[in-house]
Amino acid sequence: MKRLLFLFLFITCISYSQEEHAWVYFKDKANVEAALDNPSSILSQKAIQRKQLRNTPIDERDVPVNEEYISTIKSQDGITVKAKSKWLNCVHVLGSAENISKLETLDFVSAIEFAGEHNNDRSMLEQKQSRNKLENLVDYEYGLASNQTLMLNTNYLHENDLTGQGITVAVIDAGFPNVNSLAAFSQLRSDGRLLGGYDFPNRSSDFSNPALSNHGTLVLSTMTAYIDGKYVGTAPKSSYYLFRTEIAPTETPVEETYWVEAAERADSLGVDVINTSLGYTLFDDSKYSYAPEDMDGETAFISRGANIATEKGLLVVVSAGNRGDESYFKNIGAPSDANVLSIGAVDKNRNYAFFSSIGPSADGRIKPDLAAQGLDIISIDQFDNLVQGSGTSFASPILAGSIASFWQADPSLTNLEVMDLLKASASQFENPDFKLGYGIPNFKKALDALTDLEEDVDEEKLNIDELLIYQNPVYNLLRFNNPTQGTYDITLFDTIGQIVLQKKNVQEEIDLSGFSRGIYIAMFEQNNTRESFLIIKK
Q: Confirm whether 141 is domain-assigned.
A: no
3-state secondary structure of 363: coil
**Residues 405 and 517 reside in one and the same domain:** no
- The C-alpha angle 368, 373, 376, rounded to 5 degrees, equals 130
Q: Same domain for 95 and 171? A: yes
| Same domain, residue pair 105 and 227 | yes
What is the residue range of 328's domain? 1-129+156-454
Are 169 and 71 found together in one domain?
yes
pLDDT at res. 516: 80
The CATH number given to whatever domain includes residue 463 is 2.60.40
The pLDDT value recorded for residue 120 is 64
Boundary (domain end) residue, out of 426, 454, 482: 454
Q: Are 254 and 302 in contact (CB under 8 A)?
A: no
Say yes or no: 352 and 427 in one domain.
Answer: yes
Same domain? For 401 and 481 the reply is: no
Asked if residue 147 is part of any domain, the answer here is no
**What integer pLDDT is reported at residue 459 of this predicted model?**
45
**Residue where one domain finishes, among candidates 424, 454, 484:** 454
Residue 487 has phi, psi (to 5 degrees) of -120, 160
Contact (CB, 8 A) for 114 and 100: yes
| Domain total in the chain | 2
pLDDT at position 260 is 98
Contact criterion met (CB below 8 Å) for 374 and 348: no
Residue-level pLDDT at 12: 32
For residue 90, being part of any structural domain is answered with yes
* Residue 444 and residue 463 in one domain: no
pLDDT attached to residue 462: 42
Q: What is the pLDDT of residue 458?
A: 44
Active site residues: 173, 215, 393
pLDDT of 292 reads 94
Residues 482 and 406 in one domain: no
Q: Is residue 358 included in any domain, yes or no?
A: yes
- Taking alpha carbons only, the member of 476, 366, 365 closest to residue 426 is 366
**Residues 294, 295, 300, 304, CA torsion sign:** negative
Residues 336 and 463 in one domain: no
Within a domain: residue 138?
no
Same domain, yes or no, for 427 and 298?
yes
Q: Look at residues 128, 132, 126, 127 and name the one whose alpha carbon lies nearest to residue 3.
A: 132
* Cα 379 to Cα 29: distance, rounded to the nearest angstrom: 44
- Look up residue 280 and give its DSSP letter: B
Question: How high is the pLDDT of residue 18?
Answer: 79
Residue 150 lies in a domain: no
Asked if residue 469 is part of any domain, the answer here is yes
Q: What is the pTM of this model?
A: 0.79
Instruction: Give the span between the Cα atoms of 521 and 512, in whole angstroms.
Output: 13
Q: Does 310 lie in the same domain as 423?
A: yes
Residue 243's closest CA among 282, 271, 222, 224? 271
Helix, strand, coil distribution of the chain in percent, nearest 5: 25, 25, 50
- Is residue 136 a part of any domain in this protein? no
What pLDDT does residue 480 have?
Answer: 82
Q: How does 282-315 read in b/e, with b if 16+ C-beta sit within 10 Å?
A: bbebebbbbbbebbbbebbbbbbbbbbbbbbbbb
Query: 137: which DSSP letter?
Result: -
- The segments of the chain whose pLDDT lies below 50 read 1-17, 123-142, 456-464
Assign 183 to helix, strand or coil: helix
Beta strands in 324-410 (DSSP E): 341-346, 370-373, 377-380, 386-389
Are residues 399 and 470 both part of a single domain? Answer: no
Q: From 454, 481, 500, give the residue that closes a domain.
A: 454
The CATH number of the domain holding residue 240 is 3.40.50.200
Q: In 29-123, which residue ranges form alpha helices assigned H by DSSP?
A: 32-37, 45-53, 67-74, 97-102
